[in-house]
């Protein structure tokens, strides 16, 4: 493909990204969009900590504070952590199994645009009359009573982005089941692929309950239904169940890929095979399974009764066992290895004690009787930030540094990377460690201020100072990205030198067809095996031949845009705006019309011819 390496203008590049179905470009889109929302959510966190830095503060009003905490949680979970994790799944998983793309490239693009428009819709609430203010869990008794359109933005925005996540999950499952390279058996799959697999299964079964919950609340708020209207026979606990049947698997949806990233980092930078590979796989699957059995531990104080509480308490504690297996396996992977302290390894090493602390408080919270004391205090806030930040966010930072060369063909600066690490690591513990004690001393979560002289002032100030450290760390990281991109020093296939899996056997960034010839996989850590046998690359499993590739399409963008428009119509329909209903119908027509187009218009894709592939060789596609 001679057009492939040509320089393009800005307009052409933009159009390319708007219509792309290439998993590597979609990964970049996820990274940019997720990174942007991470900054937005981070800014909200900074506002929270400024408000709480001193007692009786009036930096923001109580109402605005509610909006900020709601949006901080919602943005970070749905619009930052999930897409960032999806970015790495898209960028790396197809390469790790030796596939040329995901199973449904079109659906992959659709998933991204749905997430993107859902996220934009949710955040437009700031400019259109106020953000949602019922907490990220949006409990029905609060949400139904919430005035204005804030909660409607939450419901419709999450509904749209949730559909995107669901189809993304199905896509990854089919890709892993059907599209592994010859010899890539299940028990030879890299751990990150395994965690992607289990995560996708969790997405498939966890998101529909959220969809239903959001639909019910939308019906209540916008169309006069009475699911949560107690005076009409409704029941608000239904929302709590539906939300947490989704919500608890959701935390495993986030943490399992994080485990996967760390399970790649430890072997690479210890130059040793992952210790206990099969027990790691087993633990991953077990965590995924148990993740569905524990949702009611968020509802210990709801009043489900001692029997239900006891069952869910025991199930919750049981998850500590497979997680413990993983911790020991990571430690033993390093044992006796030649450890290199690169930036990703810094994050991985810091992850173990940080995440462990979050796990231990998790077991404390799992004791239903004790939970009555912890419930809705800063102890809970400290716990979930230790697992989400100490686990997921650390993994996202680690993964960004580890996979940056594979995604963009250039290495992030190691010195700046380590500065980012130390600032963030110190800031993180400074912010959240003290919050355990704030909680135990009785500070409730979600309060917008507190009184002086209650022993909470100094600790809150410490916590806020820590947040500033994290803010600076992120700025250093952004600088690093800018400097690296400007310098743009190109690197080879295996920039870390010790890559073990298939993604390190091909150029950085890979050509758009990934593998000229599908590789033959001879065992776990396929590329490492070949290197140890003195070979330079993988042995091909097929002769050089034509490659079938999917066509780009603008339809995913249009389908998502249609829902985005329809959501405005549905929302303002309540205010009896005359244009609302036509707008909703118009938006739905755009979506269904695009679906109709997709169905009616044949899309056979195209072939890259053998001769062009040989041409690429002669021109010397960077090897």
Pick the binder of another protein from 209, 509, 556, 562 (CB under 8 A). 209
CA-to-CA distance for 345 and 402, rounded, in angstroms? Answer: 9
CA-to-CA distance for 171 and 66, rounded, in angstroms? Answer: 36
Please choose, from the candidates 5, 177, 104, the residue with its C-alpha nearest in 3D space to the C-alpha of residue 605. 104
Pick the binder of another protein from 28, 45, 151, 242 (CB under 8 A). 242
* Site string (51-90) toward another protein, x via CB under 8 A: ----------------------------------------
CB of 521 to another protein, least distance (A): 18
> Tokens 């990934």 appear where?
514
Which are the contacts of 488, defined by CB distance < 8 A and separation ≥ 6?
Answer: 409, 410
- Sign of dihedral through CA atoms 388, 394, 395, 399? positive
CA distances from 390 to 258, 402, 430 (A): 10, 17, 13
CB of 214 to another protein, least distance (A): 11
Specify the residue, 204 or 621, whose C-beta has the smaller distance to another protein.
204
∠ Cα 135 34 27 (to 5°): 145
CB of 219 to another protein, least distance (A): 7
Please choose, from the candidates 442, 523, 431, 501, the residue with its C-alpha nearest in 3D space to the C-alpha of residue 468. 431
Pick the binder of another protein from 38, 78, 88, 104 (CB under 8 A). 104
Pick the binder of another protein from 2, 6, 56, 178 (CB under 8 A). 178
**Cα 465 → chain centroid:** 27
Residue 2 engages another protein in binding (rule: CB under 8 A):
no
Specify the residue, 204 or 581, whose C-beta has the smaller distance to another protein.
204
CA-to-CA distance for 492 and 479, rounded, in angstroms? Answer: 23
Q: Cβ–Cβ contacts within 10 Å for residue 611, how many?
A: 10
133 φ, ψ (degrees, to nearest 5): -135, 20
DSSP state of 77: I
Contact window for another protein (CB under 8 A) among 66-74, 80-88, 124-132, 236-244: 236-244
Total site size for another protein, rule CB under 8 A = 43
Residue 232 engages another protein in binding (rule: CB under 8 A):
yes
Specify the residue, 209 or 417, whose C-beta has the smaller distance to another protein.
209
Tell me if 158 sits within 8 A of 74, measured CB to CB. Answer: yes
CB of 462 to another protein, least distance (A): 43
Pick the binder of another protein from 39, 124, 170, 462 (CB under 8 A). 170
* Site string (580-619) toward another protein, x via CB under 8 A: ----------------x--xx-x-x---------------
Residue 233 engages another protein in binding (rule: CB under 8 A):
yes
Partners of residue 330 on adjacent β-strands: none
Q: Where are the beta strands (DSSP E) in 493-611?
A: 547-549, 606-608
Pick the binder of another protein from 229, 498, 577, 612 (CB under 8 A). 229
Specify the residue, 278 or 551, whose C-beta has the smaller distance to another protein.
551
Binding residues for another protein, rule: CB under 8 A, are 103-104, 107, 166, 170-171, 173-174, 177-179, 204-205, 207-209, 211-213, 215-216, 219-220, 223-227, 229, 231-235, 238, 241-242, 245, 596, 599-600, 602, 604
């Amino acid at each position: 493909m001679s057009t492939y390496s040509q320089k393009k203008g800005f307009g052409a590049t933009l159009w390319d990204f708007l219509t792309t179905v290439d998993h590597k470009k979609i990964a970049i889109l996820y990274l940019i969009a997720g990174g942007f929302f991470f900054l937005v959510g981070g800014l909200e966190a900074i506002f929270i900590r400024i408000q709480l830095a001193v007692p009786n503060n009036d930096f923001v009003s109580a109402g605005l504070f509610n909006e900020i905490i709601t949006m901080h949680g919602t943005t970070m979970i749905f619009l930052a952590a999930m897409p960032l994790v999806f970015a790495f799944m898209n960028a790396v998983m197809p390469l790790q199994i030796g596939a040329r793309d995901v199973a449904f490239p079109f659906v992959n693009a659709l998933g991204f645009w749905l997430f993107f428009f859902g996220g934009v819709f949710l955040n437009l609430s700031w400019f259109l009359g106020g953000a949602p203010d019922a907490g990220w869990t949006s409990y029905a008794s609060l949400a139904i009573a919430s005035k204005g359109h804030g909660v409607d933005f939450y419901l419709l925005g999450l509904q749209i982005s949730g559909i995107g996540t669901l189809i993304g999950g199905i896509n990854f499952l089919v890709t892993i089941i059907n599209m592994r390279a010859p010899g890539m058996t299940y028990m030879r799959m890299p751990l990150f692929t395994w965690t992607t697999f289990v995560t996708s299964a969790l997405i498939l079964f966890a998101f529909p309950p959220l969809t239903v919950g959001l639909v019910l609340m939308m019906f209540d708020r916008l169309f006069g239904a009475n699911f949560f209207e107690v005076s009409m026979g409704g029941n608000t606990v239904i929302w709590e169940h539906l939300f947490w049947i989704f919500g608890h698997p959701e935390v495993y949806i986030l943490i399992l890929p994080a485990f996967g990233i760390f399970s790649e980092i430890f072997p690479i930078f210890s130059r040793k095979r992952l210790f206990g590979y099969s027990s790691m796989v087993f633990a991953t699957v077990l965590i995924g399974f148990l993740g569905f059995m524990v949702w009611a531990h968020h509802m210990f104080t709801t009043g489900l009764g001692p029997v239900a509480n006891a069952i869910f308490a025991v199930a919750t504690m049981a998850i500590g066992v497979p997680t413990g297996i993983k911790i020991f396996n990571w430690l033993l992977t390093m044992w006796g290895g030649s450890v290199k302290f690169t930036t990703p390894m810094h994050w991985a090493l810091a992850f173990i004690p940080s995440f462990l602390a979050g796990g231990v408080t998790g077991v404390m919270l799992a004791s239903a009787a004790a939970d009555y004391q912890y419930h809705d205090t800063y102890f809970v806030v400290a716990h979930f930030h230790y697992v989400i930040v100490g686990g997921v966010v650390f993994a996202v930072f680690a993964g960004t540094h580890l996979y940056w060369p594979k995604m963009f063909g250039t290495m992030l600066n190691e010195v700046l990377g380590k500065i980012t690490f130390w600032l963030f690591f110190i800031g993180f513990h400074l912010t959240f460690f003290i919050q355990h004690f704030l909680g135990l001393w009785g500070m409730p979560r979600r309060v917008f201020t507190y009184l002086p002289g209650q022993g909470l002032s100094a600790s809150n100030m410490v916590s806020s100072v820590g947040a500033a450290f994290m803010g600076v760390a992120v700025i250093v990281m952004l600088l690093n990205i800018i400097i690296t991109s400007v310098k743009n020093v190109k690197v080879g296939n295996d920039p870390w030198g010790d890559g073990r899996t298939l993604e390190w056997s091909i150029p950085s960034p890979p050509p758009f067809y990934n593998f000229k010839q599908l590789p033959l996989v001879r065992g776990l850590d396929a590329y490492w095996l070949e290197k140890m046998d003195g070979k330079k690359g993988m042995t091909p499993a097929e002769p050089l031949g034509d490659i079938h590739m999917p066509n780009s399409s603008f339809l995913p963008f249009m389908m998502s845009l249609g829902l985005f428009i329809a959501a405005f119509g549905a929302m303002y329909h309540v205010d009896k705006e005359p244009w609302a209903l036509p707008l909703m119908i118009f938006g739905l027509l755009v979506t269904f019309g695009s679906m109709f187009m997709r169905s009616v218009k044949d899309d056979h894709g195209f072939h890259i011819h053998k001769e062009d592939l040989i041409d690429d060789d002669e021109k010397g596609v960077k090897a």
